[in-house]
Structure 1
């Protein structure tokens, strides 16, 4: 049976922790009664069970039965077998089953580095020359400067394009930093095989610092943050070193400034033990940025005429002010920041699309609730109750939805919605270690790694059936068949914004099937920093908390 697997058996293609809930979804099963779990080497059945009654799942557009093999906790490599359908993709059961995927999701950031060559000893067959040194970037008039240029090197490419965006660098950094703050020993030195490996410091912090170094360059002398560094338009699907359009410092606004202030204030705590001078520079920059935002509280960014790269626009900055104030208070213990927080009517409800525009309030809550002794009477209890209540609602919702994930509206980057909800459940578990929260997180990851209506593990290079044609210029422009590994596809997007751009979707797809493995599909198959960030957090969380 080697290499012959059925797409009709959907499961986590990487694997499960021994004590985790383990479910596979059988599609078009023709009312099969039984299933088996077979050892991948001996082909002998190690577990047998009864399939659920048939169910119709409207979000997926499928009739399914569920195979529950949670009782199997023996470590090994296995397949599901259903008579008349065949064998599933292989999967493992083990105590550190997601470690490689976790490290891979971080190594994916290295492949996104701008301003340096990716050498073969670190990048393998995805090695490439340097692109975008960004040592002489012109100011666009929208930056507030009519002439001149500046250097703004390093950083990660934001997504499938070659732009660098302050807002969507700071937001993912906040999530990456949260993992480090929650689990300081999560990644050590020499674990990622990056150029900094062997320097005696955490490879994780080395990689995050490469991005933080860039964001620091985007602060204007008055404290405000320029919005982005891009060309006027997107490049063709070419390699970075062949991308030679003039790049500009574009725009300046409240959202980018506040997100930077939050990330930089958090960076102070993260880097303090490693490099106190660098940490202090981050904190000083955060204070300066926050002060600019207080004086300029309503500066929205809209793409200037002629600029068509990512906008990352926003007009409501309450979430950003909350996050920035929370991180600055925790790093300085200056109660001015705490007093400025809008603590009334905190919104703990997650809705699909709560990404770079509004998820920041949760990041502020996550940081604050970890510092009970630093909070005034009643505020900690309000935060804790709100997070637990949100997690309870998500757990309940996931139990009733197709493929056991807690969203029913599939928008741009829906996989990040799944993972951002999982972060809420993870924080709830840290506050009250209830099994239902851990189970909710595990099943969200199962969904992303293969237990979904497309039957794909959406993480490139991890799983048997993974995206091969992501909307990603490096992967399209190189001569390597496989895409760059460790990058998360955006996932189903029922809005189909690219349907008129050469992307061919099935006719009238179900919401969960509004995804195609096609290179032009920027609406469903692009990659992005703020999608990898919650994936990294959740995989790291599970590696620490699951057994």
Structure 2
């Protein structure tokens, strides 16, 4: 479950990237990580499950979502261990899963998982199309966190209210509609060859949603107060509007979208904000990396070089902050063993998003024959990749706990994940109804491992001292979210390809 960001970071003792040992102990099976990560999305599915569902301990759920409001909202994803369908993090999940696939399509294909990643994306985009019932209407949420959290039930047994909440012209919400526009635009790129009609449909909805979000500008948590306790918009809507604008430009190459992100670069904060976090709430660092990539990948953007370079400078502030090479206490904390640390509630979400941007930017620097210039030193592309690998390998088990934070990967991983469906006997094995409080009595408080393995989930992870308690009630550490796993699909595939091609040599020599 998400929590808001802050614009400042507490000081951390200076660690130089140059002295960070490259993690080489043991070669992880990165292909297996790709395969397992995509299974997690099947476990999070809401709606009528397809015939080829591989996570067999899940069943159909939420089959009447939207019925009371006269709209079909069956489908989509549960964000974490509960059963609310939160629009903002769901859309961010799909945007990041699509971006991850766009960047590393060849690598994911080589791993044999390209069809599965498209299925995962389409499960989300199909739902967004349903939720966009009118050009200026978007159904942003189904269920509410308060009533949902009183119950510990399987999704197949849900008795909590399933009221749907919408955004419209009278009650606008720019963040959620713009993020959904970004997700649909990014996905349209992936379906362009295999399903051009669907790609066109996605783009049609993306353009309408963007126009809606831009015309009726308002914070979505002001219109939908029910989201404030779970996914409030601390950063406002400027980042989402720019984010959607960049993705629509990538998907269409229409000059009006490029003009939008250039003309609004400062008024919406993209070329102005220096941020040390990238998350479901704040996308500025992602926006800034997309802008930097345009300088190399798109010749038509050259006339806007000055503004794009301002975006780029802010992207590099974020990366230097992660690498502890900024000044004035603007660096991200590291744990004693080198894991990025932002805050104790689901810290791993910030680790994976940073790891993704570091990996993508390493490719960008390599392709453009550049280095990263930080206040405390410059870095070669392979040094960014080396640091990204240290984060990946920490997640997969190279850490003081010798624990994989990717569930189901390796021989040791958390087995008491804070997740209603995984922690309760399956509907297929025990078809009797499990009530709201009955689930707490019989399943939540059990000391035993979960009966179902939530394969591919990345949990909240260790604290600032690299310590982790595998306790179901320790939700800050043991709950997983879809946006934890989404950015890592392509990253895992990237390192799988490198291991295949180079036997790890390029990475093992990267400290030289």
Q: Normalised by the size of structure 1, how large is the TM-score?
A: 0.70
Pick from 493, 499, 504: which aligns with 1:540?
493
- Residue 384 (structure 1) shift: 4.7
Which residue of structure 2 lines up, in the alignment, with residue 405 of structure 1?
Answer: 338
Which residue of structure 1 lines up, in the alignment, with residue 230 of structure 2?
Answer: 310
Contact 1:419 1:538 in 2 (8 A): no
Structure of higher CA gyration radius: 1
**What is the correspondence of 1:106-117 to structure 2 with a 5 Å cutoff?**
106-117=38-49
Q: Which runs of 5+ in 2 are unaligned?
A: 1-10, 14-18, 168-172, 326-330, 367-380, 427-449, 503-512
Distance (Å, rounded) in 2 between the aligned partners of 1:454 and 1:118: 38
Which residue of structure 1 lines up, in the alignment, with residue 279 of structure 2?
Answer: 355
Aligned-residue CA RMSD in angstroms?
A: 3.3
Pick from 459, 469, 473: which aligns with 2:406?
459
Alpha-carbon spacing, 1:118–1:205, altered in 2? closer, same or farther (3 Å): closer
Structure 2 residue 131 is the aligned partner of structure 1 residue 218: yes
Contact 2:100 2:488 in 1 (8 A): no
Superposed CA offset, 1:167-193 (max 9, x none) = 11111111111122112234449946x
- Residue 478 (structure 1) shift: 2.1
Alpha-carbon spacing, 1:544–1:137, altered in 2? closer, same or farther (3 Å): farther
Pick from 210, 228, 233: which aligns with 2:147?
233
Alpha-carbon spacing, 1:361–1:101, altered in 2? closer, same or farther (3 Å): same
Pick from 190, 202, 205: which aligns with 1:285?
205
- Residue 256 (structure 1) shift: 0.5
Instruction: Compare the two structures and name the one with the higher strand fraction.
Output: 1
- Residue 258 (structure 1) shift: 0.6
Q: Which runs of 5+ in 1 are unaligned?
A: 1-57, 61-65, 73-90, 140-148, 193-200, 494-510
Which residue of structure 2 lines up, in the alignment, with residue 100 of structure 1?
Answer: 32
Q: Normalised by the size of structure 2, how large is the TM-score?
A: 0.74
Contact 2:292 2:312 in 1 (8 A): no
Contact 1:190 1:203 in 2 (8 A): no
**What is the correspondence of 1:156-167 to structure 2 with a 5 Å cutoff?**
156-167=77-88
- The SS at the match of 2:77 is coil
- Residue 224 (structure 1) shift: 3.8
Distance (Å, rounded) in 2 between the aligned partners of 1:160 and 1:317: 27
Which residue of structure 1 lines up, in the alignment, with residue 455 of structure 2?
Answer: 485
- Residue 348 (structure 1) shift: 7.0
- Residue 205 (structure 1) shift: 0.6
- The SS at the match of 2:101 is helix
Alpha-carbon spacing, 1:428–1:528, altered in 2? closer, same or farther (3 Å): same
- Residue 331 (structure 1) shift: 2.1
Contact 1:166 1:227 in 2 (8 A): yes
Q: Which has the higher contact order (CA 8 A, sep 6+)?
A: 2
Pick from 384, 388, 391: which aligns with 2:319?
391
- Residue 283 (structure 1) shift: 0.9
Structure 2 residue 212 is the aligned partner of structure 1 residue 264: no
Instruction: Compare the two structures and name the one with the higher helix fraction.
Output: 2
Deviation larger for 130-139 or 400-409: 400-409
Distance (Å, rounded) in 2 between the aligned partners of 1:170 and 1:215: 8
- Residue 109 (structure 1) shift: 0.6
Which residue of structure 2 lines up, in the alignment, with residue 204 of structure 1?
Answer: 117
- Residue 522 (structure 1) shift: 2.3
Distance (Å, rounded) in 1 between the aligned partners of 2:227 and 2:259: 39
Structure 2 residue 92 is the aligned partner of structure 1 residue 171: yes
Distance (Å, rounded) in 2 between the aligned partners of 1:300 and 1:306: 10
Alpha-carbon spacing, 1:331–1:120, altered in 2? closer, same or farther (3 Å): closer
